Protein backbone atom coordinates (compact mmCIF):
# COMPACT_ATOMS: atom_id res chain seq x y z
CA UNK A 1 0.00 0.00 0.00
CA UNK A 2 2.83 2.36 0.88
CA UNK A 3 6.35 2.01 -0.49
CA UNK A 4 8.85 4.57 0.65
CA UNK A 5 12.41 4.51 -0.55
CA UNK A 6 15.29 6.74 0.60
CA UNK A 7 12.92 9.55 1.43
CA UNK A 8 14.71 12.72 2.49
CA UNK A 9 13.30 16.12 3.36
CA UNK A 10 15.60 19.01 4.14
CA UNK A 11 14.49 22.35 5.45
CA UNK A 12 16.95 25.20 5.43
CA UNK A 13 19.46 24.26 8.09
CA UNK A 14 17.72 21.09 9.21
CA UNK A 15 17.10 17.60 7.89
CA UNK A 16 13.66 16.49 8.99
CA UNK A 17 13.61 13.11 7.26
CA UNK A 18 16.82 11.36 6.45
CA UNK A 19 16.82 8.48 3.97
CA UNK A 20 13.65 6.81 5.20
CA UNK A 21 12.61 3.48 3.66
CA UNK A 22 9.69 1.31 4.65
CA UNK A 23 6.66 -0.47 3.26
CA UNK A 24 3.17 -0.93 4.58
CA UNK A 25 0.99 -3.75 3.28
CA UNK A 26 -2.72 -3.60 2.66
CA UNK A 27 -4.75 -4.12 5.82
CA UNK A 28 -1.97 -3.33 8.27
CA UNK A 29 -2.26 -0.88 11.15
CA UNK A 30 1.17 0.67 11.44
CA UNK A 31 2.30 3.10 14.08
CA UNK A 32 4.92 5.78 13.65
CA UNK A 33 6.50 6.24 17.01
CA UNK A 34 8.89 8.97 17.93
CA UNK A 35 9.48 12.08 19.98
CA UNK A 36 8.47 15.50 18.69
CA UNK A 37 10.61 16.51 15.75
CA UNK A 38 11.42 12.94 14.74
CA UNK A 39 10.03 13.48 11.24
CA UNK A 40 6.64 11.81 11.66
CA UNK A 41 4.50 14.72 10.50
CA UNK A 42 6.87 15.56 7.67
CA UNK A 43 6.70 12.01 6.33
CA UNK A 44 2.91 12.07 6.56
CA UNK A 45 2.73 15.40 4.77
CA UNK A 46 4.83 14.01 1.95
CA UNK A 47 2.67 10.90 1.72
CA UNK A 48 -0.48 13.01 1.57
CA UNK A 49 1.06 15.12 -1.24
CA UNK A 50 0.98 18.33 0.78
CA UNK A 51 4.64 18.93 0.14
CA UNK A 52 7.38 17.28 -1.87
CA UNK A 53 10.38 15.37 -0.62
CA UNK A 54 13.86 16.68 -1.31
CA UNK A 55 14.85 13.30 -2.68
CA UNK A 56 13.68 9.71 -2.70
CA UNK A 57 10.40 8.22 -3.81
CA UNK A 58 7.12 7.41 -2.16
CA UNK A 59 4.26 5.46 -3.70
CA UNK A 60 0.77 5.01 -2.37
CA UNK A 61 -1.36 2.25 -3.89
CA UNK A 62 1.12 2.14 -6.76
CA UNK A 63 0.94 5.87 -7.54
CA UNK A 64 3.85 8.22 -7.11
CA UNK A 65 3.09 11.00 -4.63
CA UNK A 66 4.97 13.59 -6.61
CA UNK A 67 3.96 12.74 -10.16
CA UNK A 68 0.41 11.50 -9.62
CA UNK A 69 -0.80 13.49 -6.60
CA UNK A 70 -4.48 13.52 -7.56
CA UNK A 71 -4.63 9.72 -7.79
CA UNK A 72 -2.93 9.46 -4.41
CA UNK A 73 -5.17 12.04 -2.72
CA UNK A 74 -8.27 10.24 -3.91
CA UNK A 75 -7.08 7.12 -2.10
CA UNK A 76 -5.97 8.72 1.14
CA UNK A 77 -7.96 9.88 4.12
CA UNK A 78 -5.65 12.23 5.97
CA UNK A 79 -6.13 13.83 9.35
CA UNK A 80 -3.44 16.52 9.78
CA UNK A 81 -1.77 17.37 13.06
CA UNK A 82 -4.04 19.15 15.54
CA UNK A 83 -7.05 18.14 13.46
CA UNK A 84 -7.91 21.45 11.78
CA UNK A 85 -11.63 21.90 11.10
CA UNK A 86 -13.85 24.74 9.97
CA UNK A 87 -15.20 25.63 13.39
CA UNK A 88 -18.03 27.75 12.03
CA UNK A 89 -19.67 24.86 10.20
CA UNK A 90 -22.10 22.26 11.45
CA UNK A 91 -20.97 18.64 11.64
CA UNK A 92 -23.11 17.27 8.84
CA UNK A 93 -22.57 20.34 6.68
CA UNK A 94 -18.79 20.07 7.11
CA UNK A 95 -18.66 16.39 6.23
CA UNK A 96 -20.87 16.98 3.21
CA UNK A 97 -18.57 19.80 2.10
CA UNK A 98 -15.51 17.59 2.50
CA UNK A 99 -17.16 14.71 0.68
CA UNK A 100 -17.93 16.99 -2.26
CA UNK A 101 -14.36 18.30 -2.32
CA UNK A 102 -13.16 14.73 -2.48
CA UNK A 103 -15.19 14.27 -5.63
CA UNK A 104 -18.26 12.43 -4.37
CA UNK A 105 -21.53 13.11 -6.15
CA UNK A 106 -24.63 14.43 -4.45
CA UNK A 107 -26.33 11.14 -3.65
CA UNK A 108 -23.17 9.30 -2.83
CA UNK A 109 -21.87 12.01 -0.48
CA UNK A 110 -25.17 12.00 1.39
CA UNK A 111 -25.00 8.24 1.75
CA UNK A 112 -21.35 8.26 2.89
CA UNK A 113 -21.93 11.09 5.37
CA UNK A 114 -24.75 9.06 6.94
CA UNK A 115 -22.44 6.06 7.18
CA UNK A 116 -19.52 7.86 8.81
CA UNK A 117 -21.76 9.77 11.20
CA UNK A 118 -22.98 6.39 12.40
CA UNK A 119 -19.51 4.85 12.39
CA UNK A 120 -17.93 7.63 14.44
CA UNK A 121 -20.84 8.09 16.84
CA UNK A 122 -21.73 11.57 15.64
CA UNK A 123 -25.41 11.11 14.89
CA UNK A 124 -26.46 12.98 18.07
CA UNK A 125 -24.39 16.04 17.24
CA UNK A 126 -24.78 16.21 13.45
CA UNK A 127 -26.54 19.57 13.65
CA UNK A 128 -24.21 21.14 16.20
CA UNK A 129 -21.60 23.76 15.27
CA UNK A 130 -18.16 22.17 15.35
CA UNK A 131 -16.67 25.05 17.37
CA UNK A 132 -19.04 24.24 20.22
CA UNK A 133 -18.18 20.57 20.42
CA UNK A 134 -15.78 19.01 22.93
CA UNK A 135 -12.34 18.01 21.77
CA UNK A 136 -13.25 14.35 21.75
CA UNK A 137 -16.15 14.98 19.40
CA UNK A 138 -14.02 17.20 17.18
CA UNK A 139 -11.51 14.42 16.91
CA UNK A 140 -14.27 12.11 15.77
CA UNK A 141 -15.33 14.67 13.18
CA UNK A 142 -11.74 14.66 11.90
CA UNK A 143 -11.80 10.88 11.70
CA UNK A 144 -15.16 10.92 9.95
CA UNK A 145 -13.69 13.37 7.44
CA UNK A 146 -10.76 11.04 6.79
CA UNK A 147 -13.20 8.19 6.16
CA UNK A 148 -15.90 9.97 4.23
CA UNK A 149 -14.70 9.13 0.72
CA UNK A 150 -14.04 5.50 1.65
CA UNK A 151 -10.28 5.67 1.00
CA UNK A 152 -7.87 2.75 0.85
CA UNK A 153 -5.39 4.27 3.25
CA UNK A 154 -5.96 6.34 6.34
CA UNK A 155 -3.19 8.56 7.68
CA UNK A 156 -3.72 9.99 11.15
CA UNK A 157 -1.24 12.44 12.63
CA UNK A 158 -1.40 12.21 16.42
CA UNK A 159 -5.06 11.29 16.60
CA UNK A 160 -5.37 11.25 20.39
CA UNK A 161 -3.29 14.28 21.33
CA UNK A 162 -4.91 16.59 23.85
CA UNK A 163 -7.78 14.29 24.73
CA UNK A 164 -8.75 13.18 28.22
CA UNK A 165 -8.32 9.49 29.11
CA UNK A 166 -11.95 8.71 28.46
CA UNK A 167 -11.89 10.29 25.00
CA UNK A 168 -8.56 8.63 24.22
CA UNK A 169 -10.11 5.24 24.86
CA UNK A 170 -13.05 6.01 22.62
CA UNK A 171 -10.85 7.23 19.77
CA UNK A 172 -8.50 4.27 20.10
CA UNK A 173 -11.39 1.86 19.96
CA UNK A 174 -12.56 3.60 16.81
CA UNK A 175 -9.12 3.32 15.19
CA UNK A 176 -8.83 -0.30 16.16
CA UNK A 177 -12.15 -0.91 14.44
CA UNK A 178 -10.87 0.76 11.27
CA UNK A 179 -8.03 -1.74 11.02
CA UNK A 180 -10.47 -4.40 9.92
CA UNK A 181 -11.34 -2.56 6.78
CA UNK A 182 -8.64 -0.04 5.96
CA UNK A 183 -4.88 0.26 5.94
CA UNK A 184 -3.98 2.68 8.70
CA UNK A 185 -0.82 4.66 9.34
CA UNK A 186 -0.87 6.65 12.55
CA UNK A 187 1.71 8.65 14.42
CA UNK A 188 2.04 9.13 18.12
CA UNK A 189 4.55 9.71 20.83
CA UNK A 190 2.47 7.79 23.33
CA UNK A 191 3.91 4.33 23.41
CA UNK A 192 1.00 2.48 24.93
CA UNK A 193 -1.10 3.71 22.06
CA UNK A 194 0.95 1.74 19.57
CA UNK A 195 0.84 -1.33 21.79
CA UNK A 196 -2.92 -1.11 21.90
CA UNK A 197 -3.81 -0.24 18.32
CA UNK A 198 -1.02 -1.22 15.95
CA UNK A 199 0.11 -4.51 14.52
CA UNK A 200 3.47 -3.09 13.52
CA UNK A 201 5.59 -0.24 14.74
CA UNK A 202 8.23 1.94 13.12
CA UNK A 203 10.32 3.83 15.64
CA UNK A 204 11.55 7.13 14.28
CA UNK A 205 14.27 9.28 15.69
CA UNK A 206 15.85 12.30 14.01
CA UNK A 207 14.44 11.39 10.63
CA UNK A 208 15.62 7.77 10.64
CA UNK A 209 14.03 4.45 11.47
CA UNK A 210 15.58 3.06 14.64
CA UNK A 211 13.57 -0.11 14.74
CA UNK A 212 10.78 -1.70 12.76
CA UNK A 213 9.01 -4.78 13.98
CA UNK A 214 5.70 -6.36 14.77
CA UNK A 215 4.56 -4.87 18.06
CA UNK A 216 4.58 -8.22 19.88
CA UNK A 217 7.96 -9.28 18.47
CA UNK A 218 9.51 -6.07 19.63
CA UNK A 219 8.17 -6.63 23.08
CA UNK A 220 9.29 -10.24 23.10
CA UNK A 221 12.74 -9.28 22.04
CA UNK A 222 13.01 -6.94 24.94
CA UNK A 223 11.43 -9.22 27.51
CA UNK A 224 14.25 -11.74 27.05
CA UNK A 225 16.12 -10.65 30.14
CA UNK A 226 13.05 -9.96 32.23
CA UNK A 227 13.17 -10.92 35.86
CA UNK A 228 10.69 -13.11 37.70
CA UNK A 229 9.79 -11.84 41.14
CA UNK A 230 8.05 -14.04 43.71
CA UNK A 231 6.99 -13.53 47.31
CA UNK A 232 7.21 -16.80 49.19
CA UNK A 233 6.85 -17.69 52.89
CA UNK A 234 10.03 -19.70 53.41
CA UNK A 235 13.44 -19.43 55.04
CA UNK A 236 16.28 -17.95 53.10
CA UNK A 237 18.30 -21.13 53.33
CA UNK A 238 15.59 -23.33 51.87
CA UNK A 239 14.98 -20.87 49.06
CA UNK A 240 18.65 -20.75 48.15
CA UNK A 241 18.74 -24.52 48.30
CA UNK A 242 15.81 -24.84 45.93
CA UNK A 243 16.88 -22.38 43.23
CA UNK A 244 20.65 -22.29 43.41
CA UNK A 245 21.42 -25.19 41.13
CA UNK A 246 18.72 -24.64 38.48
CA UNK A 247 20.47 -24.49 35.08
CA UNK A 248 18.28 -21.69 33.69
CA UNK A 249 18.81 -19.28 36.54
CA UNK A 250 21.51 -16.72 36.02
CA UNK A 251 21.19 -14.82 39.25
CA UNK A 252 19.28 -15.17 42.49
CA UNK A 253 18.51 -12.42 44.98
CA UNK A 254 16.60 -12.95 48.18
CA UNK A 255 15.49 -10.20 50.50
CA UNK A 256 13.33 -10.22 53.59
CA UNK A 257 9.97 -8.47 53.61
CA UNK A 258 7.18 -8.48 56.19
CA UNK A 259 6.55 -11.53 58.40
CA UNK A 260 7.66 -14.89 57.09
CA UNK A 261 7.72 -13.76 53.49
CA UNK A 262 10.85 -13.42 51.41
CA UNK A 263 11.14 -11.68 48.11
CA UNK A 264 12.91 -13.76 45.46
CA UNK A 265 14.20 -12.13 42.28
CA UNK A 266 15.32 -14.54 39.58
CA UNK A 267 17.18 -13.51 36.44
CA UNK A 268 16.87 -16.10 33.67
CA UNK A 269 19.49 -17.32 31.25
CA UNK A 270 18.51 -17.04 27.51
CA UNK A 271 15.08 -15.60 28.11
CA UNK A 272 13.70 -18.70 29.82
CA UNK A 273 10.35 -18.17 31.53
CA UNK A 274 11.01 -19.04 35.18
CA UNK A 275 7.49 -18.70 36.50
CA UNK A 276 6.58 -22.43 36.24
CA UNK A 277 9.84 -23.31 37.99
CA UNK A 278 8.94 -21.11 40.95
CA UNK A 279 5.46 -22.56 41.14
CA UNK A 280 6.70 -26.14 41.01
CA UNK A 281 9.19 -25.49 43.80
CA UNK A 282 6.54 -23.82 45.91
CA UNK A 283 4.10 -26.71 45.59
CA UNK A 284 6.85 -29.31 46.08
CA UNK A 285 7.92 -27.70 49.37
CA UNK A 286 4.45 -26.71 50.45
CA UNK A 287 5.37 -22.98 50.57
CA UNK A 288 2.79 -20.27 50.55
CA UNK A 289 3.15 -18.20 47.38
CA UNK A 290 1.45 -14.80 47.40
CA UNK A 291 2.88 -13.12 44.33
CA UNK A 292 4.48 -14.21 41.10
CA UNK A 293 5.23 -11.66 38.38
CA UNK A 294 7.42 -11.33 35.40
CA UNK A 295 8.62 -7.84 34.72
CA UNK A 296 7.84 -7.05 31.13
CA UNK A 297 9.60 -4.17 29.45
CA UNK A 298 7.21 -1.74 27.86
CA UNK A 299 7.79 0.02 24.59
CA UNK A 300 8.68 2.95 26.76
CA UNK A 301 11.83 1.16 27.92
CA UNK A 302 12.60 0.02 24.39
CA UNK A 303 12.34 3.53 23.19
CA UNK A 304 14.57 5.03 25.83
CA UNK A 305 17.02 2.20 25.26
CA UNK A 306 17.15 2.69 21.48
CA UNK A 307 17.34 6.46 21.47
CA UNK A 308 20.05 6.47 24.11
CA UNK A 309 22.07 4.08 22.03
CA UNK A 310 21.54 6.29 18.96
CA UNK A 311 22.78 9.33 20.83
CA UNK A 312 25.85 7.55 22.09
CA UNK A 313 27.01 6.47 18.64
CA UNK A 314 26.49 9.96 17.31
CA UNK A 315 28.44 11.61 20.08
Partner 1 sequence: MRVFLTLVRRELGSYFKSFSGYVVVAAVLLLNGFSLVDLIERVRDHSVPTPVTELLFQTYYFWLVILLTSPVITMRAFAAEKSSGTYEALMTTPVGDWQVVLAKFAGTLGFYALAWLPLVGVLLALRQITGVAALFDPPIIASTFLGVLLIGSLFMALGCLASALTRSEIIAAMVTFLWGIGLWMAGYRPESSSLVPAWAQPALEQISMTRHMEDFARGLLVGRHLVFYVTATAMLLFLTQRVVQARRWK
Binding site for partner 1 (CB under 8 A): 45, 48-52, 54, 69-70, 73-74, 76, 78, 80-82, 84-89, 97-98, 100-103, 105, 145
Nearest-approach distance from CB 73 to partner 1, in angstroms:
4
Please, which residue, 98 or 172, has the CB nearer to partner 1?
A: 98
Closest contact distance (angstroms) between CB of 107 and partner 1 is 13
Say if CB 110 and CB 64 are below 8 A apart. Answer: no
Nearer to partner 1, 84 or 271 (CB): 84
Output the smallest distance, CB 52 to partner 1, in A.
Answer: 5
End-to-end CA distance of the chain: 37
Distances (CA, A) of 200 to 130, 176, 247: 33, 13, 35
CB of 250 to partner 1, least distance (A): 53
For partner 1, which is the closer residue by CB, 101 or 304? Answer: 101
> Taking the complex as a whole, how short is the minimal distance between the CB of residue 28 and partner 1, in angstroms?
21
Residue 37 to residue 148: CA distance in whole angstroms? 30
Work out how close the CB of 133 gets to partner 1 at its nearest, in angstroms, rounded to a whole number.
Answer: 16
Would you say 50 or 272 has its CB closer to partner 1?
50
Q: Which is nearer to partner 1, 34 or 151 (CB)?
A: 151
- Residue 88 CB, nearest distance to partner 1 (Å)? 4
State which residue, 45 or 172, has the beta carbon closest to partner 1. 45
Choice between 148 and 299, CB closer to partner 1: 148
On whether the CB atoms of residues 289 and 282 are closer than 8 A, the answer is: yes
Amino acid sequence: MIEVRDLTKRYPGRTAVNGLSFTVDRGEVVGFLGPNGAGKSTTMRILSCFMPATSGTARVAGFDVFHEPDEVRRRIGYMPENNPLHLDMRVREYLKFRARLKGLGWGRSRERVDTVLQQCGLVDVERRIIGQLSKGYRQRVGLADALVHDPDLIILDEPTIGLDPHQIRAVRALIKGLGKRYTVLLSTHILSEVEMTCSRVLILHEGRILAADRTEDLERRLSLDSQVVAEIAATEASLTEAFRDHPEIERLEISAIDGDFRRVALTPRNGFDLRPVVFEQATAHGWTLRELTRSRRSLEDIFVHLTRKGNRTRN
